[in-house]
Amino acid sequence: MKGVVLRGRGLAFTHPRAEEAAVRGVSLEIGPGRLLAVVGPNGAGKTTLLRLLSGALVPQAGEVSLDDRPLGELGDRERARAIAVVPQSEASPFPVTVREMVGMGRYARLGPWERAGSRDRAIVDRVLERCGVAWLAGREIGELSGGEGQRVRIARALAQEAPVLLLDEPTAGLDLRYRMELFHLLRELRADGLAVLVITHDLNLAARFADELLLLQEGVTRARGAPGEVLSREILEEVYEWPLRLVPHPGPGSDVGAPQTVPLRRDER
Amino acid sequence: MTGSPRRIALLGLAVLIAAAVSISFGASGLGPGDLWRTLAGDADPSTRTILLQLRLPRAVLAALVGGALGLSGCTFQALLRNPLAEPYVLGISGGAAVGAVGVMVTGLGALIPWMLPLGAFLGAVAAMALVLEVARRASPGGVDTRVLILSGVIAGAFFNAVILLLLTLADLESFRSAIFWLMGNLSRADWGSIGWLVALVTPAAVVVLSLARAFNLLSRGEEVAYYLGASVQRVKLTAYLAASLMVGAAVAVVGVIGFVGLILPHAVRLAWGNDHRLLLPASFMAGAAFLLLADTVARLVVAPAELPTGVVTAVFGVPFFVVLLMRGGRR
């Protein structure tokens, strides 16, 4: 899998019948071995940005490109071989097993009449193992807990063998351990050379795991850069409209000093 | 995927057995022994004629129509992510019947034989577009299962009225032909219409089967399917047209027969899961076996008279539908 660079330049999008633009003039770039966290309040345009970057929405201004090739030039299969997406939620009235679900990730690598071969099965086994859900392979999706289901969906994205991985709030609804395991997994994938973009509301984990933060506010980039630069009290209080303090991570380990956000109670103002 | 060839073979056997049952039983009192003697080549000519000229084409027609309805039902369910979707319930069969009756009353059907299936196909497409659009507008923020079914049922009732109106106005009306279009039967079986059906259903079925893996993706939602590499709009358009072609072809030959596309795909799902690579061919074959048996029942219960086959499928299908609906409501 060779590394590629996914670039968005001056992206803008207004949803049909909406008055305000969901995203305006946002530019970003993710390349191999980088983990970018997109943060911001509800309704700031994070999911719209992800849909623009994945090609699911076509920007009304600006351009998304993959290694300097406009995304629109790629066919659907070709695009899915380059960009894998874990969307926020999915539901289906037709239950499938974990193995069938992850096997769907191989779609873009097979012709219509081609059957999954030993290489495809080996990849499915490997990503099931990697995401810690191999023991669930024969289970039906509906029987899984939130954390297990989320890891199965990430395994399916990894089965695409795409160099770019986009995740929309993968930690939503997960408990402390699953959240930590998930961010560790993302960091491992980044170490493998993937370009990873994750939307999250967890500023504290983003500060510790991401190389770069992009803070969105009402569809525009409020700040972009290393976590230490983006996470300042002035910016966050203004963006979230809530008083807060930043404290350095106490350690131990390499995260010592990473800015951790502590929102204040109303009576503490 | 392992075990699929054996399961398909099992269903193939079921179709053959159902066909043997269908050919063996009928109003004339000939039985399984006569089928055996005919196959062995030592039956008398009148027995041969009844079995090979009357019952065999009817069995082949039942298998083809049942298969086409089972496969198209499964297709609509995958595209709409709705286990209740089925050509009859969605009003698509009714639309096809209106198209076919329209061609008949204008006299075009008598002049140009392929106008009848064409009219039925166009009727099916128009009905589908209408029902989907009504359901979409009536449920903003994603088509609601029950709104979709309601739109289909309302459209179906309307089409029934249109059929009766057309038949009455055109003075073509014999009570029998109205019954035929409202509740189909297989009494018009002949090798000519079977040829038509094979020519139309085969390519449509091949197209649908080639989309099996895309259907697996689509049943997870259109956005997910897109991310995994499916060409969502192209797959949907192709599959809707192919399924409508199958429904239109079937309705043009046998009239409206409901619920086959509901019962059989659901039974296969319960037994073998939701992988469309197995589910689609299995729905075709299970539909074929089911309609062979349903038609045998239709010929036997009031022999020497005949029930419309659609009555038999509805007797099985309606309770089945009600159970599915109640289960969906609990979810």
Report pLDDT digits (tens) over B225-248. Answer: 999 999 999 999 999 999 999 999
* Pick from A80, A112, A116: CB nearest B227: A80
How many structural domains compose chain B? 1
Q: What are the residues whose beta carbons fall under 8 Å from the beta carbon of B209, sequence distance 6 or more?
A: B280, B281
Inter-chain contacts counted by CB atoms under 8 A, chains A and B: 83
Distance CA A137, CA B296 (A): 43
- A104 interface with B at CB cutoff 8 Å: yes
Greatest Cα-to-Cα distance within chain B, rounded to the nearest angstrom: 66
Structural domain span for residue B139: 4-330
One DSSP character per residue, B160-219 reads HHHHHHHHHHTT---HHHHHHHHS--STT--HHHHHHHHHHHHHHHHHHHHTHHHHHHHT
- A160 interface with B at CB cutoff 8 Å: yes
CB contact under 8 A, B216 and A100: yes
Could you tell me the sign of the dihedral formed by the alpha carbons of B33, B37, B43, B46, in that order? Answer: positive
Per-residue pLDDT tens digits for A60-80: 999 999 998 999 999 999 999
What value does the mean pLDDT take over residues A191-218? 95
User: Searching chain A, which residue's CA lies closest to the CA of residue B215?
Assistant: A104
Distance CA B35, CA B47 (A): 9
CB contact under 8 A, B229 and A108: yes
One DSSP character per residue, B227-243 reads HTT--HHHHHHHHHHHH
Q: Residue A169 has what pLDDT? A: 94
CB contact under 8 A, A110 and B213: yes
Alpha-helix runs per DSSP H in A160-246? 176-191, 203-209, 227-230, 233-240
Distance CA A258, CA A250 (A): 8
Residues of A in contact with B210 (CB under 8 A): 112-113
State the complex-level ipTM: 0.94
Beta bridge partners of A199: A38, A168
For residue B197, the distance in angstroms to the closest alpha carbon of chain A comes to: 25
- A113 interface with B at CB cutoff 8 Å: yes
- B160 interface with A at CB cutoff 8 Å: no
Q: Residue B330 has what pLDDT? A: 44
CB contact under 8 A, A87 and B227: yes
Inter-residue contact B73 to B261 (CB < 8 Å): yes
* Pick from A76, A87, A113: CB nearest B229: A76
Q: Residue A54 has what pLDDT? A: 95
Q: Residue A87 has what pLDDT? A: 92
Inter-residue contact A163 to A193 (CB < 8 Å): yes
Q: Residue B243 has what pLDDT? A: 94
Task: Tell me which residue has tokens 């994938």.
Answer: A189
Per-residue pLDDT tens digits for A35-47: 999 999 999 999 9
The beta-strand segments (E) located in chain A are 6-13, 23-30, 34-39, 61-66, 69-70, 83-86, 164-168, 195-199, 212-217, 220-225, 244-248, 259-263
CB contact under 8 A, A81 and B229: yes
Inter-residue contact A157 to B228 (CB < 8 Å): no
Extract the residue ranges of chain B whose pLDDT is less than 70: 1-3, 141, 172-176, 328-331
Beta bridge partners of A261: A246
Distance CA B174, CA B164 (A): 10
Residues of A in contact with B211 (CB under 8 A): 112
CA contacts within 13 A on the Cβ side of B95: 27
CATH classification number, A6-268, choose in 1.10.3720.10, 3.40.50.150, 3.40.630.30, 3.40.50.300: 3.40.50.300
For residue B86, the distance in angstroms to the closest alpha carbon of chain A comes to: 15
Closest CA to B23 of B63, B59, B60, B53: B59
* CATH at B173: 1.10.3470.10
User: Searching chain B, which residue's CA lies closest to the CA of residue A77?
Assistant: B229
Residues of B in contact with A104 (CB under 8 A): 213, 216-217, 220, 228
Average pLDDT, chain A: 92
Q: Residue B229 has what pLDDT? A: 95
Per-residue pLDDT tens digits for B142-175: 777 788 888 999 999 999 999 888 888 877 656 6
CA angle B224, B226, B227 (to 5 degrees): 65
Distance CA B212, CA B78 (A): 10
User: What angle do helix axes B175-182 and B145-169 make, rounded to 10 degrees?
Assistant: 160
- B146 interface with A at CB cutoff 8 Å: no
What is the value of pTM for the model shown?
Answer: 0.90
* Pick from B227, B228, B269: CB nearest A94: B269
Q: Residue A127 has what pLDDT? A: 95
Residues of B in contact with A92 (CB under 8 A): 81, 219-221
Q: Residue B331 has what pLDDT? A: 42
Radius of gyration of chain B from Cα atoms? Answer: 20
Q: Residue B65 has what pLDDT? A: 96
Please say if the pLDDT value at position A96 is more than 60.
Answer: yes
- A139 interface with B at CB cutoff 8 Å: no
What value does the mean pLDDT take over residues A221-248? 92
Q: Residue B294: helix, strand or coil by DSSP?
A: helix
Residues of A in contact with B81 (CB under 8 A): 92-94
Residue A107: C-alpha distances to residues A40, A87, B209 (Å):
33, 17, 15
